């Protein structure tokens, strides 16, 4: 069994709130500097920037989970990761269908730029990405799992856009591989506050919008390799594999 350092919640320049410095190149450089083995690219309601990051990171020996931070109809933020490029594109199609067409106001929300591996802007996403999808949390979860993906409700300890702030509880029948905590809470206090059993895996991630925040919180994955199958088994705590959240700024 090996130990891998992972930060599974990173925004790029495609997120309106993501800093313009969050280009694929800068993200990979910073992840390498922070000695991360695995990162997750999670722009709001779009997976479009993730594949370029994956290709760049591959050259540096860093694995990338490609996905998105989905805003459900209930305004709950959930991380979704797809197992391969084919299914990422299928999930992107689902997002495109479910995203209401509201134009982005760049002055108010910021730029949503899609860039290539050399930081050239390819296009500006015109639809506001931070709005809620038409699909509810259950529908999003089912679509992610139908495509063989991973579903992780995000920053559960946050007072906005978390499953507990929006719904007050975890809906019965909702399937998820883990729940994510921020760098501002310890694992113990999160479990106590929300009544989360030891059997449920918690991940800690940075939710970085600026390069310096990458790796500000991370999770240690105990598993055999960096394949999608191993990552899933680690999240599920199977056969000795496990995930240990490392939120750094415990309060
Ligand atoms: Zn969020
Ligand atoms: Zn986020």
pLDDT digits (tens, 9 = 90+) for 78-103: 999 999 999 999 999 999 999 998 88
Relative to the alpha carbon of 153, which ligand is closest? 1
Return all residues near 229 (Cβ < 8 A) that are at least 6 apart: none
Give Cα separations from 136 to 75, 98, 160, 221 (angstroms). Answer: 9, 10, 17, 30
Relative to the alpha carbon of 158, which ligand is closest? 1
pLDDT cut 70: percent of the chain above it:
99
Tokens representing 191?
């479990």
Contact (CB, 8 A) for 128 and 109: yes
**How far is the centre of ligand 1, averaged over its atoms, from the C-alpha of 69 (Å)?**
7
Q: What is the pLDDT of residue 103?
A: 86
**How far is the centre of ligand 1, averaged over its atoms, from the C-alpha of 75 (Å)?**
10
The overall average pLDDT reported for the chain is 95
Give the 3-state secondary structure of residue 91.
helix
**How far is the centre of ligand 1, averaged over its atoms, from the C-alpha of 44 (Å)?**
8
Q: What does pTM read for this prediction? A: 0.96
The closest of 229, 228, 84, 87 to 146, measured between CA atoms, is: 87
Q: What is the pLDDT of residue 107?
A: 80
**How far is the centre of ligand 2, averaged over its atoms, from the C-alpha of 6 (Å)?**
15
Q: What residue ranges define each of the domains in the chain, with the CATH number in brackets?
A: 2-247 (3.20.20.140)
In the predicted model, what is the mean pLDDT of residues 159-184? 97
Tokens representing 1?
């069994």
Relative to the alpha carbon of 209, which ligand is closest? 2
Q: Is the pLDDT of residue 104 over 90?
A: no
Return all residues near 88 (Cβ < 8 A) that are at least 6 apart: 47, 50, 51, 66, 67, 82
**How far is the centre of ligand 2, averaged over its atoms, from the C-alpha of 80 (Å)?**
12
**How far is the centre of ligand 1, averaged over its atoms, from the C-alpha of 1 (Å)?**
32
In the predicted model, what is the mean pLDDT of residues 110-120? 90
| HSE toward the beta carbon, residue 140, CA cutoff 13 A | 32
**How far is the centre of ligand 1, averaged over its atoms, from the C-alpha of 155 (Å)?**
7
pLDDT cut 90: percent of the chain above it:
89
**How far is the centre of ligand 2, averaged over its atoms, from the C-alpha of 239 (Å)?**
31
Return all residues near 215 (Cβ < 8 A) that are at least 6 apart: 5, 7, 30, 31, 34, 35, 36, 206, 208
**How far is the centre of ligand 2, averaged over its atoms, from the C-alpha of 200 (Å)?**
21
**How far is the centre of ligand 1, averaged over its atoms, from the C-alpha of 41 (Å)?**
13
Rg (CA), the chain: 17
- At 126, the pLDDT band (50, 70, 90 cuts) reads confident
Q: What is the pLDDT of residue 249?
A: 57
């Amino acid at each position: 069994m090996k130990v891998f350092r992972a930060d599974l919640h990173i925004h790029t320049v495609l997120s309106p709130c993501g800093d313009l410095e969050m280009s694929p190149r800068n993200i990979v450089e910073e992840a390498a500097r922070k000695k991360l083995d695995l990162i997750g690219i999670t722009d709001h309601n779009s997976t479009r920037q993730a594949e370029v990051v994956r290709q760049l990171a591959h050259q540096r020996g860093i694995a990338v989970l490609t996905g998105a931070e989905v805003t459900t109809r209930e305004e709950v933020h959930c991380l979704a990761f797809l197992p391969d490029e084919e299914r990422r594109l299928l999930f992107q199609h689902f997002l495109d269908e479910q995203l209401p067409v509201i134009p982005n106001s760049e002055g108010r929300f910021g730029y949503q730029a899609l860039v290539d591996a050399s930081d050239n802007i390819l296009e500006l996403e015109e639809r506001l990405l931070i709005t809620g999808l038409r699909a509810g949390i259950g529908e999003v979860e089912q679509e992610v799992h139908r495509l063989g993906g991973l579903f992780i409700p995000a920053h559960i300890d946050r007072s906005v856009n978390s499953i507990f702030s929006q719904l007050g509880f975890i809906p019965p029948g909702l399937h998820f591989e883990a729940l994510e905590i921020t760098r501002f809470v310890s694992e113990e206090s999160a479990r106590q506050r929300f009544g989360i059993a030891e059997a449920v895996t918690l991940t800690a991630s940075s939710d970085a919008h600026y390069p310096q925040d990458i790796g500000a919180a991370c999770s240690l994955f105990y598993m055999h390799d960096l394949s999608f199958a191993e990552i899933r088994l680690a999240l599920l705590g199977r056969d000795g594999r496990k995930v240990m959240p490392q939120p750094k700024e415990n309060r």
